[in-house]
Amino acid sequence: MEKPVWIGGVGMISAIGNSVPEALQAIEQGKSGIGPMRWLPSAHKDVFPVAEVKLSNGDLADYTGMPCGITRTALLGVAAATEAFKSIEHLLHPTFKTGLLSATTVGGMDKTTHFFKEFLKNQSGGRLRNVVYHECGSPTELVAEKLGIRDFITTISTACSSSANSIMMAARMIQHGMLDVAIAGGVDALSTFTLNGFNTLMILDKAYCRPFDNSRNGLNLGEGAAFLVLLSESALKTMGIEPLCRISGWHNATDAYHQTASSPDGIGSCIAMRGALEKARLQPEDIGYINVHGTGTVNNDQSEGTAMKQIFGEKMPRFSSSKSFTGHTLGASGGLEAVLSVLALKHGLIYPNLRFSTPIEGLGLVPETHFQTGVDIRHVLSNSFGFGGNCTSLLFSKN
Partner 1 sequence: MHTFIHGTGVIAPYLPGKDNPLPAPDSQPRLRCIEPDYKQLIDTRLLRRMSRVVRMGTAAALTSMKDACVEMPEAIITATAYGCTEDTETFLTKMIVQNEQMLTPTAFIQSTHNTIAGQIALMLKCHAYNNTFTHRAFSFEHALLDAMLLLQEGEISNVILGAVDEMQDTRFKILERFGLYKRAVQQGPWGDPAQRDSPGTIAGEGATFFVLSTSPPAASNICIKDVRTFFKPGDMQPNILAFLAEHHLKPSDIGLLLWGKNGDARYDGVYDETARGLFDTNPVFSFKRLCGEYPVATAYATWLAAFILQGREMPAGLLPAGLQAPGHVLIYNHFYNIHHSLILLSAC
- 30 or 137: CB nearest partner 1: 137
**Helix 298-312 and helix 267-279: axis angle, to 10°?**
40
| 331 within 8 A of 187, measured Cβ to Cβ | yes
Closest CA to 290 of 300, 268, 305: 305
Measured CA to CA in angstroms, residue 319 lies from 93, 142, 350, 367 at distances of 39, 36, 8, 5
In this structure, which amino acid lies at residue 248?
A: S
Query: Catalytic annotation on 293?
Result: yes
The helix/strand/coil state of 392 is: strand
| 380 within 8 A of 289, measured Cβ to Cβ | yes
Write down the catalytic residue from 134, 251, 270, 328: 328
Write down the catalytic residue from 136, 160, 270, 391: 160
E strand or H helix that includes residue 195: helix 192-200
- Rounded to a whole number of angstroms, the minimum distance from the CB of residue 179 to partner 1 is 11
- 26 or 187: CB nearest partner 1: 187
In this structure, which amino acid lies at residue 301?
A: D
3-state secondary structure 239-281: HCCCCCEEEEEEEEEECCCCCCCCCCCCHHHHHHHHHHHHHCC
C-alpha R_g of the chain:
20
- Rounded to a whole number of angstroms, the minimum distance from the CB of residue 263 to partner 1 is 10
In this structure, which amino acid lies at residue 52?
A: E
- 217 or 254: CB nearest partner 1: 254
- Rounded to a whole number of angstroms, the minimum distance from the CB of residue 257 to partner 1 is 8
Query: Catalytic annotation on 258?
Result: no
d(CA 367, CA 24): 19
- 353 or 383: CB nearest partner 1: 383
In this structure, which amino acid lies at residue 192?
A: T
Strand-pairing partners, residue 37, are none
| 158 within 8 A of 105, measured Cβ to Cβ | no
- 19 or 199: CB nearest partner 1: 199
Strand-pairing partners, residue 14, are 17, 224
d(CA 123, CA 71): 22
- 264 or 364: CB nearest partner 1: 264
**How does DSSP classify residue 243?**
-
- Rounded to a whole number of angstroms, the minimum distance from the CB of residue 115 to partner 1 is 8
Query: Catalytic annotation on 379?
Result: no
- Rounded to a whole number of angstroms, the minimum distance from the CB of residue 184 to partner 1 is 13
Binding site for partner 1 (CB under 8 A): 42-44, 105, 112-113, 116-117, 119-120, 123-124, 128, 131-132, 135-138, 140-141, 144, 150, 152-159, 165, 169, 172-173, 176, 192-193, 196-197, 199-201, 252-260, 267-268, 271, 386-390
- 18 or 297: CB nearest partner 1: 297
**For 371, phi and psi rounded to 5 degrees?**
-70, 130
Write down the catalytic residue from 134, 209, 251, 293: 293
Catalytic sites, residue numbers: 160, 293, 328
